[in-house]
Structure 1
Amino acid sequence: MLTSKQKSFLRSEAHHIDPIFQVGKGGVSGTMLRQIEEALEKRELIKISILQNNEDDKNEVAKALAEGTYAELVQLIGHTVILYKPSVKNKRIELPRKG
């Protein structure tokens, strides 16, 4: 579980990142979740766009993405989801200490 200080840090880190995945009309699929997990392993922090043609609630989509990839939901702002998952092999992001 991330602290508010850590989430704030990750939000600032994600500010300049472009979304690399889009959730469209088909919603969240198993294939998409596997691809997102691979991207999280390489990058640790990613943005995902929820397209206008997606009929699901954006909060539910964000929750499904986070739970499906075992990642932390850093933020849902507008139709953009920011996910964080520490990498096993490619550790790049050093989070502020808890407390």
Structure 2
Amino acid sequence: MLNSRQRAWLRARANQLESSFQIGKSDLTPSVIDDLSALLTTHELVKVHVLKSAETSAAQLAEAAAAAVGGDVVQVIGRRFVLYRFSEKLAKQQKNLQLPRI
């Protein structure tokens, strides 16, 4: 669970990111969840773009995706949302994001 300071720090980092994942009309299928989980393992912070053809809102998809992959929703703006999940793989390589402490 992220506190407000960590969430603000991650929002600032995500501001520079391009959307690296898209969700379309099929919404959250098992293959989409697997791909998103793999992307979070290698990047920790992912910006997702929800296409206009999606039937579900970005906020609902963000909550569902975060629950499915075990991550946290950092922010939702329009049809884009940002997810964060700590990565053991990146921590072993000392390439993970160092979140600010309280």
Decide: shared fold, TM above 0.5. Answer: yes
Instruction: Please classify the TM superposition score into its range, dividing by the shorter chain length.
Output: over 0.9
TM-score (norm 1): 0.94
Letter in 1 for 2:98: E
> Structure 1: which 5+ residue stretches go unaligned?
none
The number of residue pairs the alignment matches comes to 98
> Structure 2: which 5+ residue stretches go unaligned?
none
Q: What displacement does 1:89 show?
A: 1.2
TM-score (norm 2): 0.92
Question: Which fold has the larger relative contact order, with Cα–Cα distance below 8 Å and residues 6 or more apart in sequence?
Answer: 1
Indicate the residue corresponding to 1:81 in structure 2: 81
Letter in 1 for 2:5: K
In structure 2, distance between residues paired with 1:95 and 1:71: 15
Q: What displacement does 1:20 show?
A: 1.2
Provide runs of 4+ in structure 1 moved above 6 Å. none
Identity %: 32
Q: What displacement does 1:68 show?
A: 0.7
Indicate the residue corresponding to 1:68 in structure 2: 68
